[in-house]
Structure 1
Amino acid sequence: MMDKIELGTPEGTTENIDKIAELFPQVVTEVENADGKLARAVDFDALRDLLGDVAEGQRERYQFTWPGKREAKAEARCPIYKTMIPEPGKSKDWDTTENLYIEGDNLDALKILKETYAGKVKLIYIDPPYNTGHDFIYDDDFAKTRGEYDAESGDFDEEGGRLVANTEGNGRFHSDWCSMIYPRLLLARDLLTSDGSILLSIDANEVKNLRAICDEIFGAQCFKNCIAVRRGIKNVQAQFDDIAALSQGHEYILLYSRNATNRFHKLSLAHDGKPGKWDTFWRGTDRPSMRYELFGETPHSGQWRWEKGRAYTAVSNYSTFLKDAAGSMSLDEYYLDNLAATNEKMNFVRKNEDGTVQYYVPPSTGKLLSDNWMDLTLSGNETDTFDTEKSVAIIQRIVEWLAPPNSIVLDFFSGSGTTAHAVIEANKNDNGQRRFIMVQLPENCGDNPSAIKHGYKTLCDLGEDRINRAGAKIAADIDKGNEQLELGAEPKLYPDLGFRVLRIDSSNFKDFYLTPGEISQESLFDFADNVKEGRSDLDLLFEVLPKLGIPYSAKIEERVLADKKVFFVDGDKLAACFDANVGSDTIEEMAKAKPWYAVIRDSSMADDATHANYEELFRTYSPDTVPQVI
């Protein structure tokens, strides 16, 4: 039986059973499902025997819940039959960029991305819709008909998905918001690397609930901090008058790690150009008597501090410095040089005339960030369109701090595209190769005057244009700097300024997931060519990529083999042909290229002989290739 690519995203329950089976294989059993077929299931009695006392039923226990939580969990596990449709015409540098801009519901996007990007995203930053009583939030109840939708307030996306005005008069004011964010965070967790981090902007309305949700999903031990950020003046002034409350001048950024053992490095001092200072760690204790002066030099940034409770054992280290290194380097340099050489903390100590013992504290090479970021304003105005867009400076600080130069940064509420802008800026600063993945629902900009002025119909139009303009400015800045280079200096290279636009849509293939009783003789003829009208070969290729774990940013080359177009993806990772009437001669040439995977449409083969020879040709010319059909 020839391997056939399964369409749709994986069913979350099956994945969870797999994880339990890895830990406790003895609790996995088989039961008869609704179709009368045997299916794997967890024997909870057996699991209870392994775990001992459990919290279940009406037993009192600490928990965070709300109406709709069960459905929100189920929504995260539910498979979908959707795909990413490539949009080369809306993209920039399609052939070379490794950045992605995805138009569509982020719940769908996260489910599709999980197939390829699980465990590969180093940093996630999101700025979800705040539950202010005026903003629109996503509605994940797709079971309702369009007629039922029309009877309710709200806007719609292209597929009839509803954006609901979650007013404070709504009895489910908090519940609706929690049900919206919960499944998205469940899926987001699976995308993070083992040492990855997620940061979430939020205001006072839902910060308590968001903390509770994140504690449950990521683990309370993975909470690292709640950062305070100053609100912009427009945001403060826009607050409704309330004589019972004070004006709120700040908002929050919650920081969680994927793993409780994660430790964050210090922010590089190159970030703001300020020199290292010892009092980064002992702030407010600097006194002239505590600084040292060596051989008449200007006091160094390091200092001697009084030793408490430690024996005076290492005078020789300091004496060795005075004897061997004083003429060629400062004590700061000597300390750091030895630190690098021994990979351990040197114990420089000295004994004073009064018998007290001191040890040397070198200058800091970095800053330990605090949870007070009031030096930065939350709101930016780079697009001059919306007052609520985030500041590039804030997200750039996050990116440079937590995303190494060769990592993936995801924002699945990308709004005006600030995170993409920040990633490009960070790459410009440190010559990094970070890649971004932005996801945004194509929300209508409505009657916003600035949006109308610039011709933006949706937030995706705004975001894509903003990234283009940010890239153009960065390129111009680099060009200007290169014009002023000293003789022999290397010119600065552009970071990746492009992005591939992908649009979420239904599967490219007709719905053939039917029960036997639903199949008619007429419908069998429809499935002879199972591709929907208007879908291109490139569309089909992008539905195949996640099934084989190939990233959407992979390089794509078109070749003609025996008069048929064949896509070669990521070098020799995949050879795929979707042309009609493909003969054995084309398949033989594909096999001779020795790809890891080969894919062809089942209905594309020219005749029965070609179909019969498909796998045999690969066994002959490339036995390591995995040939499949779709």
Structure 2
Amino acid sequence: MLSSEVVEGDESYEFTWVGKKASIVEANKPIRKTLRPCEEESVNWNTTKNLYIEGDNLEVLKLLQESYLGKVKMIYIDPPYNTGNDFIYNDDFKVNTEEYAKESGEYSDSGNRMFRNTDSNGRFHSDWCSMIYSRILIARNLLTNDGIIMVSIDEREYANVRKICDEIFGEKNYFGDIVWEATTQPINTGVARFGLQKKTESILMYGKNKNEVMGFNLEEIEDRLLYPHIGRYGKCRFEIIEKSDSGGYSRPSMKFKILGQYPRDGKRWQIGEEVARKLEEDGKVEIIEGIIKKAVYPEDEVGRKQYKPFWSLLRADVVGTAQNGKDELNSIMGSPIGFDTVKSISLMKKLLSYMGDNYIVLDFFSGSATTAHAVMQLNAEDGGHRKFIMVQLPEATDEKSEAYKAGYKNICEIGKERIRRAGKKIIEENRDKEGIENLDIGFRVLKLDESNMTDVYYSPDEYSQDLLARLESNIKTGRNDLDLLFSCLLEWGLPLSLPYSSERIEGYTVHNYNNGDFIACFEENIPDSVIKEIAKKQPLRAVFRDSSFANSPAKINVGEIFKLLAPDTRVKVI
């Protein structure tokens, strides 16, 4: 500080950490993976438009880029909290302690450690930032121009997520924070002596292009959040006007009657008698479930309403708490599952309702699948056609956990079973509702796996006649027709949730995707008569295996048949 010389080097305002460049490289690195369908674990496989995908979300997001580029209107994520422990996401950009120490200058030239690895130093946050950065970077590509992303986050990484989203989406596309009253039981954070206790969590909201988010009037939305009830004169919110009458709060003079009722035992009024009489006269106090409450209407706050850096507070009595979410999960599963933090269905329905009633929502940290549950519930209530894509790493449950004891070996098993049970329950509860039979309570299960194509890595001198025979098929052993079909969908960038059916033509299985847009047959030695029947359907695309044809002339003949009967069809042989 006493030096007369300025530190050398250029300076600029930037947000960086050890591993950031590697996380960008990782986001753009190609992969040889595919998504394998699992029909037996799905519900309404042929007709559902919902997806449940098991696998590392970074790799899944990469695979979805072609099929869902610019097609997702809402992304909601509740990423894992940063506890300082190693992540279950094995990304290549992660650095070990020694590498980090070298890059960040954690050790002095003489080899002495400069600081301890606590939550105040960089490595605690670096791995987490790298993990979330690459995923949000790819996720942005999936959003529609008028799409939004909502990120639930606690205070430990809030500042970093803000900076990351500002960089990826641009500060101008920041809508604000929704503050959720996550608990009605304050958590002591060590500053209770200042009257500060943790009760809320933030949900950050960014648009891909804020100016194109149509039908999204922030003032109207804030009004709905501020005034969720209907009172004598229209929309309002009800506020309790009682408080404790014990100790230093005791006020005998504040125990008069309002609407003919005294305060409840152990309570006294928060307002004076003169104010109470005016509210009675104006009709702005009501008895709500046996409790006297004050009704606050929009006109009561004209001139006093100030816009904050967040929209408004989502109150626990309106959208529930984390404990409500946990209770809902345990109830639908029939036993305690052991999740500590679960978003409530009411909270998710509130968020989903902002974006309309016909769109795709993606949750790539889906956990117990609250988002999917809320989508089905909200669709049942308002007749909407929202579709969900859930992505979850099949993280193993602890053998000592309640979930493991209940038979769930990983988190995906919990999420899938919850959706199955929730769907059945919603149908039962709305049995008499018109059109409920059309509600989509199904989902297609897809699982991340290595490519269907065999890996050829032999050098010329390693080939033998026996080896060549074993390489006759370019498809890995154990892969079935649906595996091949869905790998083609990913390659061609087709949505994975369109209608599917199959039929037998002369004893050969023919797969029909999206009512004839895409037809495939992966049988061996397909005769010309079957090829002609497929061509007569005039699909947009047709796919066959290389081994579907006895020889090269037979393969060439397929092209000639399609030129004659379906000249506009794109034919591919894999």
Query: Which bracket does the TM-score occupy, shorter chain normalised?
Result: 0.7 to 0.9
Partner of 1:435: 387
Instruction: State the alpha-carbon separation in 2 of the partners of residues 584 and 240 from structure 1.
Output: 78
Select which of 446, 449, 452 maps to 1:505. 449
SS at match of 1:591: helix
Give the superposition deviation at 1:516: 7.2
Is the aligned partner of 1:420 residue 2:372?
yes
Partner of 2:495: 551
Which of 88-97 and 176-185 deviates more? 88-97
Give the superposition deviation at 1:555: 1.5
Report if aligned partners of 1:100, 1:438 keep a CA contact under 8 Å in 2: yes
Give the superposition deviation at 1:232: 2.8
Select which of 329, 334, 341 maps to 1:383. 329
Select which of 179, 192, 196 maps to 2:130. 179
Partner of 2:311: 370
Partner of 1:218: 169
Give the superposition deviation at 1:139: 2.8
Instruction: State the alpha-carbon separation in 2 of the partners of residues 393 and 143 from structure 1.
Output: 37
Instruction: Deviation per CA, 1:561-584: give whole Å up to 9, x if none.
Output: 343211111011111111112233
SS at match of 1:387: coil
Partner of 2:399: 447
Partner of 2:142: 191
Give the superposition deviation at 1:453: 3.8
Report the count of equivalent residues.
Answer: 469
Using a 3 Å threshold, how does the CA distance of structure 1 residues 563 and 137 change in structure 2: closer, same or farther? closer
Which of 228-237 and 372-381 deviates more? 228-237
Instruction: State the alpha-carbon separation in 2 of the partners of residues 132 and 302 from structure 1.
Output: 42
Instruction: State the alpha-carbon separation in 2 of the partners of residues 518 and 250 from structure 1.
Output: 66
Report if aligned partners of 2:147, 2:207 keep a CA contact under 8 Å in 1: yes
Give the superposition deviation at 1:170: 8.0
SS at match of 1:125: strand
Instruction: State the alpha-carbon separation in 2 of the partners of residues 426 and 453 from structure 1.
Output: 32
Report if aligned partners of 2:517, 2:541 keep a CA contact under 8 Å in 1: yes
Instruction: Deviation per CA, 1:217-240: give whole Å up to 9, x if none.
Output: 011111100121123367936x68
Report if aligned partners of 2:185, 2:199 keep a CA contact under 8 Å in 1: no
Give the superposition deviation at 1:415: 0.3
Give the superposition deviation at 1:534: 1.1
Instruction: Deviation per CA, 1:402-433: give whole Å up to 9, x if none.
Output: 2x222101000000000001111110111111
Using a 3 Å threshold, how does the CA distance of structure 1 residues 557 and 494 change in structure 2: closer, same or farther? closer
5+ residue gaps, structure 2, are: 1-7, 97-116, 238-277, 284-296, 303-309, 331-336
Using a 3 Å threshold, how does the CA distance of structure 1 residues 519 and 392 change in structure 2: closer, same or farther? farther
5+ residue gaps, structure 1, are: 1-56, 146-165, 292-300, 307-368, 483-489
Pairwise CA RMSD of aligned residues? 3.6
Instruction: Deviation per CA, 1:261-287: give whole Å up to 9, x if none.
Output: 135144597996637978879xxxx99
SS at match of 1:140: coil
Instruction: State the alpha-carbon separation in 1 of the partners of residues 95 and 166 from structure 2.
Output: 32
Give the superposition deviation at 1:492: 4.3
Instruction: State the alpha-carbon separation in 2 of the partners of residues 240 and 603 from structure 1.
Output: 69
Equivalence map 1:331-370=2 (5 Å): 370=311
Give the superposition deviation at 1:527: 3.1
Report if aligned partners of 2:186, 2:198 keep a CA contact under 8 Å in 1: no
Instruction: State the alpha-carbon separation in 2 of the partners of residues 256 and 472 from structure 1.
Output: 34
Instruction: State the alpha-carbon separation in 2 of the partners of residues 503 and 468 from structure 1.
Output: 18
Report if aligned partners of 2:519, 2:539 keep a CA contact under 8 Å in 1: yes
Equivalence map 1:120-159=2 (5 Å): 120-133=71-84, 136-141=87-92
Equivalence map 1:277-316=2 (5 Å): none
Report if aligned partners of 1:478, 1:494 keep a CA contact under 8 Å in 2: no
Partner of 2:413: 461
Give the superposition deviation at 1:183: 0.8
Equivalence map 1:513-552=2 (5 Å): 520-521=463-464, 523-552=467-496
Is the aligned partner of 1:392 residue 2:349?
no
TM-score, normalized by length of structure 1? 0.68
Instruction: State the alpha-carbon separation in 2 of the partners of residues 538 and 58 from structure 1.
Output: 58
AA paired with 1:138? Answer: Y
Give the superposition deviation at 1:535: 1.1
Select which of 467, 470, 475 maps to 2:422. 470
Instruction: State the alpha-carbon separation in 1 of the partners of residues 232 and 362 from structure 2.
Output: 31
Equivalence map 1:257-268=2 (5 Å): 257-261=207-211, 262=213, 264-265=216-217, 266-267=220-221
Report if aligned partners of 1:235, 1:387 keep a CA contact under 8 Å in 2: no
Instruction: Deviation per CA, 1:193-228: give whole Å up to 9, x if none.
Output: 000010000011100000000001011111100121
Give the superposition deviation at 1:171: 5.5
Report if aligned partners of 2:180, 2:313 keep a CA contact under 8 Å in 1: yes
Is the aligned partner of 1:68 residue 2:68?
no
Report if aligned partners of 1:119, 1:190 keep a CA contact under 8 Å in 2: yes
Select which of 386, 401, 405 maps to 2:354. 401
Instruction: State the alpha-carbon separation in 2 of the partners of residues 170 and 60 from structure 1.
Output: 22
Is the aligned partner of 1:601 residue 2:545?
yes
